[in-house]
Structure 1
Amino acid sequence: MNLFRWLRPSRPGLNATQQTRLQQLPEPQPLGEGSLRAQRWVVLDLETSGLNLNRDQVLSIGAVVIEDGAIDFSQQFERTLHRTDTKLGPSVLIHGLGPSAIAAGCDPVEALLDFMAFVGDSPLLAFHAPFDQHMLGRALKDSLGYRLAHTFLDVADLAPLLCPQANIREAGLDDWTNHFNLQVGERHHASADALATAELSLILFSRARQQHIDSPLALQQRLNQRKRRQQAPVF
């Protein structure tokens, strides 16, 4: 039995075409020992109805691709999801997704199938990735019965790991883009924030190579080592 097929149960409400698309999604691949430059990364940002991990919903998805050491502008993703039963919190005042935009959004099933087809078997990058990973995973489970198993790396953790001299730990995306003098246009919009995160990621990958961290797997291992040191008890 293929484990990943078993983790994709049929969900009532999906039509035959959607069920076929769900079954055809590729299995995620672990990070390997190839070069950082050769790895395809999907850089993700979500806008949500609020910050409650168990109650709020994904309202929009923005993503760009890093491949061959650069942002590939031919590979971009943006969807606003149609929601009829979501109470909008104060965050809509920040990201600007009002009731009319959400009412005109895409069917969540189709949007999420489109996004996972866009991701393919690639790992994902996000700023404060645990939030995006949890919210995306819950949306996929609720709408598709799909278990998200892709690797996520948190750019908010990579930045202080690779640039300790900056001494701006616990910083937000704005702090890091300002530190590197990145010219960021619109903010608090899924696609724009994904692009800003991708630009920051390219700088961090360059710093990683300068520190002889040459593969995605080595980067993940170095990040895990840092987390273990931070979590170790102090005597």
Structure 2
Amino acid sequence: MAGVTRPLRVLIVDDDALVRAGLSMMLDGVHGISVVGEAADGAEVPEAADRHAPDVVLMDLRMPRVDGIAATRGLRRRDPAPEVIVLTTFDTDENILHALRAGASGFLLKDTPPAQIVDAVRQVASGDPILSPRITRRLMDRAAVQAGAYERARAALGRLSPREGDVVVAIAEGRSNAEIGAALFMSVATVKAHVSSILTKLDLDNRTQIALLAHDAGLA
């Protein structure tokens, strides 16, 4: 929210009263930032947002009734929509990606130093997303692993004939030999021969590994 000259209005959402009190104490002592409200659950967020019109929301992930992902999604549908920084102890890849897809502008761990949390509030209010360095590295590593798996899978499947490739896709779809034969107009014996050839060429042990390879290659 570039150009805002009044204090940045911050709403704190966390089911732990001590965490809320600590964040409120820390942020209310900072020039240009005002903690305008608190909520103890995601279910309280819509009313709190209506009442306080925050610029930035510090959002916990795990809360008893409505979690931080759902609450973030709801906030980002508002007009105007406040920026959301997820502040949590749970840094699994799944949580990070769900939060970002829900529209969070930042993702920080609760052990982040106070000065960095203050900087993050100012940064997202200016329209710049923020991720803790540890999370940025994890996302980069995840992307590299996924990209590598994709390339390896595509290269492996490139050793197959077009017909064998069709069988791989059908296996990834969960079809039986009979169903594959009916779909590809071949006998069950021919399907079995193709499956055996695929396993040999790709040095795999079973159909599940074929399906996983197809998934890595983006074919299923």
TM-score (norm 2): 0.25
Higher RCO (CA < 8 A, seq sep 6+)? 1
> Which structure has greater helix proportion?
2
Which structure has the greater CA radius of gyration? 2
